[in-house]
A and B are shown apart, each in its own frame.
Chain A
Amino acid sequence: MAETSSADLKTTPLSARHEALGGRIVPFAGYGLPVQYPTGIMAEHNWTREHAGLFDVSHMGPSFLRFNETSGDAQADHAAVAALVEPLICGDITNLKPGQVRYSLLLNGDGGVLDDLMIARPAPPEWAGSLYIVVNADTKEADFARIAAAAQGKAKLDRADSCALLALQGPEAVNVMASIAPGATELGFMHYGAFAWNDTTLIIARSGYTGEDGFEILVEPEFAEAFWDLLLSDDRVKPIGLGARDSLRLEAGLPLYGHDLDETVSPVEAGMGFAVSKRRREAADFPGAARILKEHGGDLERIRVGLLVDGAPAREGADILDSHGNKVGTVTSGGFSPTLGRAIALGFVPPSYSAAGTTLGVAVRNRTQSAEVTDTPFVPHRYYRKPKP
Chain B
Amino acid sequence: MTTKYTTDHEYIRVEGATGTVGITLYAQEQLGDIVFVELPSVGKVMKKGDEAAVVESVKAASEIYSPVSGTVTEINTALNGEPGLVNQDPHDGGWIFKIQLSTPTELDGLLGEADYAELTK
Residue ranges of A at the interface with B (Cβ–Cβ < 8 Å)? 1, 35-36, 40-43, 45, 243-244, 246-247, 311-313, 315, 335-336, 338, 343, 365
Map CB proximity to A onto B39-52 as digits: 1 under 8 Å, 0 otherwise: 00000000000000
Contact partner, B35, options A1, A35, A244, A313, Cβ 8 Å: A313
Is B59 a contact of A41 with CB atoms below 8 Å?
A: yes
Q: How long is the Cα–Cα vector from A36 to B31 in the complex, in angstroms?
A: 11
Residues in B with CB closer than 8 Å to A336 are 35-36, 56, 58
With A243-B59, A315-B60, A336-B56 given, name 14 new contacts (CB 8 A): A1-B30, A1-B31, A40-B33, A41-B58, A41-B59, A42-B35, A243-B32, A244-B58, A246-B59, A311-B36, A312-B56, A343-B36, A365-B38, A365-B54
Residues in B with CB closer than 8 Å to A338 are 35, 58
Is A42 a contact of B56 with CB atoms below 8 Å?
A: no
Q: Does B111 contact A (CB under 8 A)?
A: no
Is A1 a contact of B27 with CB atoms below 8 Å?
A: yes
Q: Does B61 contact A (CB under 8 A)?
A: yes
Tell me, rounded to whole Å, the shortest Cβ–Cβ distance linking A311 to chain B: 7
Tell me, rounded to whole Å, the shortest Cβ–Cβ distance linking B120 to chain A: 10
Residues in B with CB closer than 8 Å to A243 are 32, 58-59
Tell me, rounded to whole Å, the shortest Cβ–Cβ distance linking B56 to chain A: 6
Q: How long is the Cα–Cα vector from A35 to B16 in the complex, in angstroms?
A: 42
Residues in B with CB closer than 8 Å to A247 are 58
Q: How long is the Cα–Cα vector from A338 to B34 in the complex, in angstroms?
A: 11
Tell me, rounded to whole Å, the shortest Cβ–Cβ distance linking A232 to chain B: 21
B51 to A, closest residue via Cβ: A365
Contact partner, A40, options B32, B38, B60, Cβ 8 Å: B32
- Nearest 3 pairs between A and B by C-beta? A42-B33, A336-B35, A41-B58
Is B36 a contact of A313 with CB atoms below 8 Å?
A: yes
Q: Does B57 contact A (CB under 8 A)?
A: yes
Is A313 a contact of B38 with CB atoms below 8 Å?
A: no
Tell me, rounded to whole Å, the shortest Cβ–Cβ distance linking B52 to chain A: 13
Q: Size class of B's contact patch?
A: 10 to 19
Is B56 a contact of A36 with CB atoms below 8 Å?
A: no
Residues in B with CB closer than 8 Å to A42 are 32-33, 35, 58
Q: How long is the Cα–Cα vector from A313 to B54 in the complex, in angstroms?
A: 11
Is B58 a contact of A335 with CB atoms below 8 Å?
A: yes
Q: Given the known A-B contacts A35-B59, A335-B59, are A312 and B36 also in contact in the complex, defined by CB atoms under 8 Å?
A: yes
Q: How long is the Cα–Cα vector from A336 to B55 in the complex, in angstroms?
A: 13
Q: How long is the Cα–Cα vector from A243 to B32 in the complex, in angstroms?
A: 10
Q: How long is the Cα–Cα vector from A35 to B30 in the complex, in angstroms?
A: 12
B27 to A, closest residue via Cβ: A1
Tell me, rounded to whole Å, the shortest Cβ–Cβ distance linking B32 to chain A: 5
Q: Does B9 contact A (CB under 8 A)?
A: yes
Q: How long is the Cα–Cα vector from A246 to B54 in the complex, in angstroms?
A: 22
Q: How long is the Cα–Cα vector from A35 to B59 in the complex, in angstroms?
A: 10
Q: How long is the Cα–Cα vector from A311 to B30 in the complex, in angstroms?
A: 23
**B residues 55-85 in Cβ contact with A at 8 Å:** 56-62
Residues in B with CB closer than 8 Å to A40 are 32-33
Contact partner, B33, options A41, A311, A313, A315, Cβ 8 Å: A41
Q: How long is the Cα–Cα vector from A312 to B38 in the complex, in angstroms?
A: 8
B57 to A, closest residue via Cβ: A41
Residues in B with CB closer than 8 Å to A311 are 36
Residues in A with CB closer than 8 Å to B58 are 41-42, 45, 243-244, 247, 335-336, 338
Tell me, rounded to whole Å, the shortest Cβ–Cβ distance linking A5 to chain B: 17
Tell me, rounded to whole Å, the shortest Cβ–Cβ distance linking B12 to chain A: 19
B58 to A, closest residue via Cβ: A41
Tell me, rounded to whole Å, the shortest Cβ–Cβ distance linking A340 to chain B: 11
Residues in B with CB closer than 8 Å to A36 are 32
Q: How long is the Cα–Cα vector from A312 to B60 in the complex, in angstroms?
A: 11
Residues in B with CB closer than 8 Å to A1 are 9, 27, 30-31, 62
A242 to B, closest residue via Cβ: B59
Residues in A with CB closer than 8 Å to B61 are 312-313, 315
Tell me, rounded to whole Å, the shortest Cβ–Cβ distance linking A78 to chain B: 43
Tell me, rounded to whole Å, the shortest Cβ–Cβ distance linking A366 to chain B: 11
Q: How long is the Cα–Cα vector from A40 to B58 in the complex, in angstroms?
A: 10
Residues in A with CB closer than 8 Å to B27 are 1
Residues in B with CB closer than 8 Å to A365 are 38, 54
Map CB proximity to A onto B89-108 as digits: 1 under 8 Å, 0 otherwise: 00000000000000000000
11 examples of A-B residue contacts, CB within 8 angstroms: A1-B9, A42-B33, A42-B58, A311-B36, A312-B38, A312-B56, A313-B35, A313-B36, A313-B61, A343-B36, A365-B54
Q: How long is the Cα–Cα vector from A311 to B39 in the complex, in angstroms?
A: 12
Q: How long is the Cα–Cα vector from A387 to B33 in the complex, in angstroms?
A: 40
Q: How long is the Cα–Cα vector from A311 to B56 in the complex, in angstroms?
A: 11
Is A313 a contact of B32 with CB atoms below 8 Å?
A: no
